[in-house]
């Protein structure tokens, strides 16, 4: 039976994150000590590792919840349900890639047009393109709200 920080070092999730996942129904400690400490058995650890793997792939916590409910009774669920979740995620990823590639293309064109030198930006072609709005940004408009965030840790 592992304590929360031991589960943390085994899975690479912080105790904070483990409690957060518990609050959202993803992970549970099958036992608690009298003083309230969480204790995780092998089955709990396997579930937590499943969550970690799914998260690393990029599934949302909501997706992971669905995958977990399939996991607890596989006879009640089909391969199709699993592929539906996976394909939906892949569709999202593909859409996002397309948006980012549109941004990439636009930014590259802008960079190619500008000398990038130390002279005054008076005739800078990037500035001119932005002024004139003659920028091929089709597809990029929807892309950038949350496109460039990061997660710090593993």
Binding-site ranges for DNA (CB under 7 A): 3-6, 14-17, 19-20, 29, 33-38, 55, 60-62, 144-146, 149, 151-153
Contact flag: residue 48 with Zn ion (CB under 5 A): no
Classify 7 as helix, strand or coil. helix
Q: Which two tokens stand for residue 62?
A: 């909501």
Q: Are 136 and 105 in contact (CB under 8 A)?
A: yes
- Nearest Cα neighbor of 105 from 68, 62, 138 is 138
Near Zn ion in 101-120, by CB under 5 A: 114-115
Region from 1-9, 18-26, 33-41, 114-122 binding a second copy, contact rule CB under 8 A: 114-122
The separation between the first and the last C-alpha atoms of the chain, rounded to the nearest angstrom, is 24
Near a second copy in 116-145, by CB under 8 A: 116-122, 124, 126-127, 130-131, 133, 135, 137, 140-145
Binding marks (x or -) toward a second copy, 17..56, rule CB under 8 A?
A: -----------------------------x--xx-xxxxx
Nearer to Zn ion, 100 or 129 (CB): 129
Near a second copy in 54-113, by CB under 8 A: 54-60, 67, 70-71, 74-83, 86-87, 89-90, 92-94, 96-97, 100-101, 103-104, 106-108, 110-111
Q: Is 48 exposed, middle or buried (0-12, 13-18, 19+ CB in 10 A)?
A: buried
d(CA 24, CA 82): 21
d(CA 107, CA 113): 10
Contact flag: residue 1 with a second copy (CB under 8 A): no
């Amino acid at each position: 039976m592992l304590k929360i920080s031991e589960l943390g070092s085994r899975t690479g999730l912080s105790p904070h994150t483990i409690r957060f996942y518990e609050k959202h129904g993803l992970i549970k400690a099958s036992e608690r000590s009298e003083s309230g400490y969480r204790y995780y058995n092998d089955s709990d650890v396997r579930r937590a590792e499943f969550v970690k793997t799914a998260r690393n792939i990029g599934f949302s916590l909501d997706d992971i919840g669905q995958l977990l409910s399939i996991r607890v009774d596989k006879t009640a669920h089909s391969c199709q349900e699993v592929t539906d979740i996976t394909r939906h995620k892949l569709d999202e990823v593909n859409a996002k890639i397309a948006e980012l590639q549109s941004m990439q293309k636009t930014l590259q064109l802008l960079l190619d047009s500008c000398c990038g030198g130390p002279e005054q930006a008076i005739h800078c072609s990037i500035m001119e393109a932005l002024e004139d709005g003659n920028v091929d940004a089709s597809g990029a408009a929807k892309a950038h709200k949350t496109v460039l965030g990061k997660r710090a840790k593993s």
